[in-house]
């Protein structure tokens, strides 16, 4: 076996023909015999390049409307033959099978078809059979065959042909083989998930065709990667490369803001909101979100659900902000914000399509549906005779949206659609409340008439007692404790409206 192989015979059958012409011309100049079929054969012949039709090699025409073209021993024998095995070479000679040194095959665009239509017949026809088989065969026999399985590999192949004199090393062939198995693995995963969306087999498969190394992971001594295509969701307009932690915080910010319809600003630090406000304008929302915790906002991630105008940009530019994400920016606002070299400015293209969350645990993964419930006033069940005002209800719903996106145990205090204080990630609910109160007082907020939301039930009445003593007026919680009656009774006796939502929002 030679470490370097000279390409003598090539099999070419591709769906995407962009960039194919210079490759075919380079092969022809190197004296390579080209075998092809169907549309690729026609494309090559129009370029004036001689082609051996696959049908003449196999003795069979393309049948079943093109479903069967290359599935034949004379094709697969020429790809899979082990050239160091005398028996294989003897059979190849006996059946007059050409040995293929290069296989250029891509796959029908199943994923693209799936994204563009719901017509099952069109989707099914884009499940490639022969292409997958050819790619796997050539990749398996990388000792002798070079497999090019995607249009993005064409430039590398062209370089090999023009600068490498059509010679490939075993290291190059093995690298192309790895890419080939990546292509077929991703392809099969997408097909499986299409079928399993109805069948719901107890299997979890996920694949991303794109991946990028990050500067590092959560800390500098950890490697980090992002798998996916960020450009499908955001445009980066300015600033340094997004980090692992940036991406976590941007994800938290985008998911939080997805629950708000009126102009809202959220400030995120370490995955938790430290400032949130909804107002008539995005300018007012920024001012009041920042007031919620101007200390934690320093170096934070800022998310806005309205275009950024110049007045808002001027206010935001006064402090150090690491990341901004909004649906758009007015031209003069963007120019101002770009004045800070490293500030990351992102443009959000739409809503997140993701409906599940995935986490690695022990030697496997946990998968669950995202918490997508957003409460309405009609969802709330009053459990006291004291009823909240319309303004109180708005604050309760506002607080509940925030509590849903905050690490448990958590308590959120809000008034006039502004976050006043938050206690998150605490080991007890009463500690979370005390922390929220302390945060509110640190920035001189008046808690009289404020609303309180809890991510889970109150196991004891201590939280509502502490809240009432601080002037907090209305309470929303899921309910479900065996001691619910104790908290309800305290609120009833002390004029506090309490509502049960029936929805717990644990977040770990």
From CA 371, how far away is CA 186, in angstroms rounded?
28
Token pair 């028996």 is found at 87
Q: Which residues fall within 8 angstroms of residue 167, CB to CB, at 6 or more apart?
A: 4, 5, 6, 7, 160
Q: Is 52 left (phi over 0), alpha (psi -120 to 50) or beta?
A: beta
- DSSP characters over 95-150: TT-PPPSEEEE----HHHHHHH---HHHHHHT--SHHHHHHHHHHHTTTT-EEE-S
Question: 126, 270, 287, 340: which is the annotated catalytic residue?
Answer: 270
Q: Which residues fall within 8 angstroms of residue 93, CB to CB, at 6 or more apart?
A: none
Question: 72, 140, 179, 287: which is the annotated catalytic residue?
Answer: 140
ω before 409 within 30° of 0 (cis)? yes
Q: Which residues fall within 8 angstroms of residue 113, CB to CB, at 6 or more apart?
A: 122, 123, 126
Phi, psi for residue 234 in degrees, rounded to 5: -135, 150
- Is residue 62 within 8 A of residue 36, CB to CB? The reply is no
**H helix or E strand, kind and range, residue 422:** strand 418-423
Find, among 193, 187, 163, 160, the residue nearest to 175 by Cα. Answer: 160
Q: How far is CA 162 from the centre of its chain?
A: 38
Q: Number of H helices and number of E strands within the chain?
A: 18, 23
- Is residue 417 within 8 A of residue 277, CB to CB? The reply is yes
* 140 is known as an active-site residue: yes
Q: How far is CA 197 from the centre of its chain?
A: 18
For 286, the token pair is 């920024």
- Is residue 389 within 8 A of residue 473, CB to CB? The reply is no
* 28 is known as an active-site residue: no
Find, among 116, 114, 103, the residue nearest to 157 by Cα. Answer: 103
**H helix or E strand, kind and range, residue 419:** strand 418-423
Find, among 193, 215, 216, the residue nearest to 204 by Cα. Answer: 193
Residues known to be catalytic: 140, 270
């Amino acid at each position: 076996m030679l470490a370097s192989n000279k390409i003598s015979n090539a099999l070419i059958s591709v769906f995407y023909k962009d960039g194919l012409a210079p490759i075919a011309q380079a092969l022809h100049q190197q004296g390579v015999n080209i075998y092809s079929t169907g549309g690729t054969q026609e494309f090559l012949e129009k370029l004036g390049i001689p082609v051996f039709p696959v049908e003449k090699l196999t003795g069979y025409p393309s049948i079943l409307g093109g479903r069967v073209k290359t599935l034949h021993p004379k094709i697969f024998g020429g790809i899979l033959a082990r050239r160091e095995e005398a028996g294989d070479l003897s059979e190849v000679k006996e059946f007059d099978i050409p040995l293929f040194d290069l296989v250029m095959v891509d796959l029908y665009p199943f994923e693209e078809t799936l994204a563009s239509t719901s017509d099952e017949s069109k989707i099914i026809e884009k499940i490639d059979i022969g292409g997958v088989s050819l790619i796997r065969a050539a990749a398996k026999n990388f000792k002798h065959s070079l497999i090019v399985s995607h249009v993005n590999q064409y430039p590398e192949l062209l370089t090999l042909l023009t600068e490498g004199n059509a010679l490939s090393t075993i290291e190059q062939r093995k690298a192309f083989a790895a890419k080939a198995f990546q292509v077929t693995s991703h392809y099969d995963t997408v097909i499986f998930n299409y079928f399993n969306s109805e069948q719901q087999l107890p299997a979890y498969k996920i694949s991303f065709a794109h991946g990028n190394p990050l500067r590092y992971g959560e800390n500098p001594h950890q490697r980090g990667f992002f798998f996916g295509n960020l450009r499908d969701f955001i445009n980066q307009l300015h600033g340094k490369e997004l980090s692992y932690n940036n991406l976590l915080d941007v994800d938290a910010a985008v998911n939080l803001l997805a629950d708000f319809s009126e102009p809202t600003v959220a400030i995120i630090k370490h995955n938790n909101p430290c400032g949130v406000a909804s107002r008539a304008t995005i300018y007012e929302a920024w001012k009041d979100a920042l007031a919620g915790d101007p200390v934690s906002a320093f170096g934070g991630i800022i998310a806005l659900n309205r275009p950024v105008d110049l007045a808002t940009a001027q206010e935001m530019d006064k402090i150090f902000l690491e990341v901004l994400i909004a649906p758009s920016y007015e031209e003069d606002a963007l120019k101002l914000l770009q004045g800070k070299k490293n500030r990351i400015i992102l443009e959000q293209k739409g809503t997140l399509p993701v409906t599940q969350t995935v986490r690695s645990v022990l030697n496997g993964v946990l998968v669950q549906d995202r918490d997508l419930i957003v409460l309405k006033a009609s969802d709330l069940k009053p459990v006291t005779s004291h009823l909240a005002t319309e303004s109180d209800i708005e604050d309760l719903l506002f607080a509940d949206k925030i509590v849903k996106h905050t690490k448990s145990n958590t308590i959120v205090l809000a008034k006039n659609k502004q976050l006043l204080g938050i206690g998150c990630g605490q080991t007890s609910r009463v500690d979370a409340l005390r922390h929220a109160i302390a945060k509110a007082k640190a920035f001189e907020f008046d808690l009289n008439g404020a609303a309180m939301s809890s991510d889970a039930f109150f196991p004891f009445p201590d939280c509502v007692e502490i809240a009432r003593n601080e002037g907090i007026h209305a309470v929303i919680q899921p309910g479900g404790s065996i001691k619910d009656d104790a908290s309800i009774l305290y609120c009833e006796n002390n004029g506090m409206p309490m509502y049960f939502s029936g929805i717990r929002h644990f977040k770990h």
